[in-house]
Amino acid sequence: MFLLRPTCFSNRFLIVVLIFCISSLYFAYNFHWCLLFNIQKNWFKFNQSVVVHQCSSTANPPEAENATEIMSIKVIPFLLNGSSDFLPSKYRFLQQQGVRPVRNLPDALIIGVKKGGTRALLEFIRLHPDVRASGCEVHYFDRHYSKGLQWYRHRMPYTIEGQLTMEKTPSYFVTKGVPHRVHKMNAKTKLLIVVRDPVTRVISDYTQAASKKSDMKKFEQLAFMNLSKAIDTTWGPLKIGVYARHLEKWLRYFPLSQLLVISGERLISDPAFEIGRVQDFLGLKRVVTEKHFYFNSTKGFPCLLKSEARPRPHCLGKTKGRNHPYIEPNAIERLRAFYRPYNHKFYQMTGINFGWP
Ligand code: A3P
């Protein structure tokens, strides 16, 4: 009896200890697994946000959305320090051949205008093998200037000798202080602007904004003061179309010869012609020709037969070439009258008559 008691006690004790150990192991396992899982999840999220940041902080969302529709997504390594360890594999082959791909500051910028056809222009010119461009709108000179030139350079694609680096951010054209900043970076930067009838442009701008906001006011309510005949010249989208005023600011820093003005209308009706002018201006061989385009009658726009990222025929995304809302003819006429003198001034400044009504 005396001997049995401790055995009994120790058996029960052992069972309790065993249950305790198993439970502890179970909780410890779960706890650590959760911990590890969360660490892994957050790390993944963090990495993703770094990559997303590189586009979303720079581009307005529909642009970025559209960009991804037409291009393959390029993941830019975090903490890039110029080391070849991070080079995408396609460049590693080049490096083995003694060619060193580098990220350069842009040689040419598409500075505007918003809704003028800037995405089409960029996608068309980057068909050229000697052009490499950032797919996102980087917004360095207007939003991220304080981050410095190294930050900007790291947002540029890799290039090899002989290739041009390009970027497009349409808000550059109208943002105060940008001409001076671009000039400070490189006084030889080539500038491209694609312009379109300012009346159609403002309607396109409104259409884009309305697509993101369900309770958007009517176009006429925004463009005119209290529905009177007076144009609300303080309305931002309307001011963008006063091209002559914006151009004046650029011409204080850059000669006209360093600036190419492209017709947004002709970029649609004859893309090969306008891209021919762009290639000449950039000092490139005319490689992109009418053979690269076809007219898609469903979309109503020229589309690409193939590009670096997509070997099959494709058009720009659905955020490009939207249907515009009906605008009162009387409102259109008033807008035309408002823009007419500025348009004439713009024709004189550029030496090109765009023929806008
Ligand atoms: P809409 O959507 O109002 O028709 P941006 O790229 O600067 O935002 O300009 C958008 C405009 O580019 C479109 O405005 C469209 O008219 C014009 N565009 C020019 N070429 C185009 C193309 N090949 N496909 C689609 N849109 C094109």
Per-residue pLDDT of the chain (357 residues; tens, 9 = 90+): 344 444 445 677 777 777 776 766 665 555 444 344 444 434 433 333 333 334 443 333 333 334 433 433 333 333 333 444 466 776 777 777 778 899 999 999 999 999 999 999 999 999 999 999 998 999 999 999 999 999 999 999 999 999 999 999 999 999 999 999 999 999 999 999 999 999 999 999 999 999 999 999 999 999 999 767 799 999 999 999 999 999 999 999 999 999 999 999 999 999 999 999 999 999 999 999 999 999 999 999 999 999 888 899 999 999 999 999 999 999 999 999 999 999 999 999 999 999 999
Ligand 1 cavity residues, CB under 6 Å: 114-120, 170, 204, 207, 267-268, 301-302, 315-316, 320-322
Q: For ligand 1, what atom is nearest to the CA of residue 114?
A: 7
Whole-prediction pTM: 0.79
Residue to mutate, 113, 119, 292, ligand 1, most ligand atoms under 8 Å from C-beta: 119
Ligand 1 atom closest to the Cα of residue 170 is 7
| Cα–Cα distance, 52 to 42 (Å, whole number) | 15
Burial 146-168 (b: 16+ CB within 10 A, else e): eeeeeebbbbbbbbeeebbbbbb
The C-alpha atoms of residue 240 and residue 111 are separated, in whole angstroms, by: 12
Instruction: Give 117 Cα–ligand 1 centroid separation in angstroms.
Output: 4
Measured distance CA(244)–CA(349) in Å, rounded = 8
User: Which atom of ligand 1 lies nearest, measured to the CA of 119?
Assistant: 6
pLDDT at 54: 42
- Cα–Cα distance measured from residue 193 to residue 170, given in angstroms and rounded to the nearest whole number: 8
Identify the residue whose C-alpha is closest to ligand 1 atom 3: 204
Q: How many CB atoms lie within 10 A of CB 60?
A: 17
Residues 61-350, CATH architecture: 3-Layer(aba) Sandwich (3.40)
d(CA 281, CA 353): 19
Q: 258 near 186, Cβ under 8 Å?
A: no
For residue 288, how far is its CA from the centre of ligand 1 (angstroms)?
19
d(CA 4, CA 14): 15
Cβ pair 112, 172 in contact under 8 A: yes
Q: What's the confidence (pLDDT) of residue 29?
A: 52
Distance (Å) from CA 346 to ligand 1 centroid: 21
Give the 3-state secondary structure of residue 165. strand
Residue whose C-alpha is closest to residue 199's, from 339, 28, 71, 353: 339
What DSSP line would sit under 96-114, residue for residue?
Answer: HTT---EE---SEEEEE-T
User: Which pLDDT score, from 0 to 100, does residue 94 have?
Assistant: 74
Q: Break the chain into its structural domains and give their ranges.
A: 11-56, 61-350
**Can you tell me which atom of ligand 1 is nearest the CA of 319?**
2
Give the distance (Å) from ligand 1 centre to CA of residue 244.
22
Distance 73 CA to ligand 1 centre (A): 21
> Which of the listed residues 115, 196, 263 should we mutate to test ligand 1's pocket, taking the one with most ligand atoms within 8 A of CB?
115
Beta strand pairing status for 293-296 and 301-304?
Answer: antiparallel
